Amino acid sequence: MGWKGLSSALIILCYSSLSFAEDSGWQWFERSQSSVRQYNFEASFVVIKPNQVDSYRWVHGVQNDTEIEQLMPLEQSGVEILRRNQMVYYLAPEKTPLATNSSTIKELPALLYQNIESVKALYDAVPGGSTQLSGRSAQLLRLTPLQNSRPGYWLWLDSETGFPLKIDTLTVQNEVLERWVVTHILPHAALPEALSVAAKAELPVSAETMPAAALPESPLELSWLPEGYQQVAVTAAMVPQQVLEQWLLSDGLHQVSVFVQPGASLPAQAFRDGATTIFVMPKNQFDVTVIGPVSIENARQIAESVR
């Protein structure tokens, strides 16, 4: 379905007995996900962090039940990212494409792709007021974490289509850690021309899926996880060199990586890159590094639990 069809359907809904203003937070959230996953468009967006701004071109389309999207950095040459359904490809000039099994591109907001039931287990969705954003009427939707250890989210959704126009990632005190803002969007009635070649391109069929058990046996263990997090499998392609042990933690939406490496006589370090905490703790003969969207205190507790 093209964007015009979507808009017409939503205009009809505006005059029905159940108006958008009466929709629940989760209805708004589901509409936002649908507007991203089911339609054809080209968009540009920026990711704003305290000391950095990154800009991207994002193209999305659906053809014959295949979801295709492409992400390219606008201000630097480098890796182009392409997703076709459950496969993500990293394409660099004069290099063999790297393929990974994933239903999302990690540079895009995970909220827009995650199963809604997983998000409901972590957040409460509360509609706010409407405002004008980039010349469009936008509905505010607040995702408030059920546990304070997680970041919160404020989403501004196009009042007509539900398409996300801005997403703020927040601390418990509602301080903005990171801001994602759409600066331009162009809807298409059919698959965008930019994706026509990508849809037919011959690319690697499968990714490296060898489990991280290929690492040398280690007596180390992780004895504490933040509430709601579990260990998930790590593929060998994700394991950096010089790693003695690695764990990947997930709560169904966020992921936290924990690395144990030989000691490099580094001091303890803790800083935030937008919503991502990077924490390094020297311990005996090795260093523990925690990377992910958790508080510095939680990152410290994870590192201290390595035994």
SS3 label, residue 172: coil
Structure tokens at 40: 């054809």
pLDDT confidence of residue 15: 38
CA distance 149 to 136: 33
SS3 label, residue 196: helix
Locus of tokens 């930019």: 194
How far is CA 230 from its chain centroid? 18
pTM of the model: 0.86
Which of the given ranges, 42-46, 236-240, 243-247, has the highest pLDDT on average?
A: 42-46
191-201 b/e (C-beta count within 10 Å ≥ 16 → b): bbeebeebeee
Could you read off the pLDDT of 167-220 as tens digits, one per residue?
Answer: 999 998 999 999 999 999 999 999 999 899 888 888 876 545 444 444 556 789
Residue 120 main-chain phi, psi, to 5 deg: -60, -30
CA distance 198 to 84: 9
Structure tokens at 76: 């630097």
- Which domains are seen in the chain, by residue range? 3-200 (2.50.20.10), 212-304 (3.30.200.100)
| Torsion sign over Cα 244, 95, 41, 50 | positive
pLDDT confidence of residue 138: 97
Q: How is 230-251 classified by DSSP, letter by letter?
A: EEE--BGGG--TT-SEEEEEES
Q: Taking 80 as the threshold, does the pLDDT of residue 240 lie above it?
A: no
CA distance 283 to 295: 20
Q: 231 with 249: CB under 8 angstroms?
A: yes
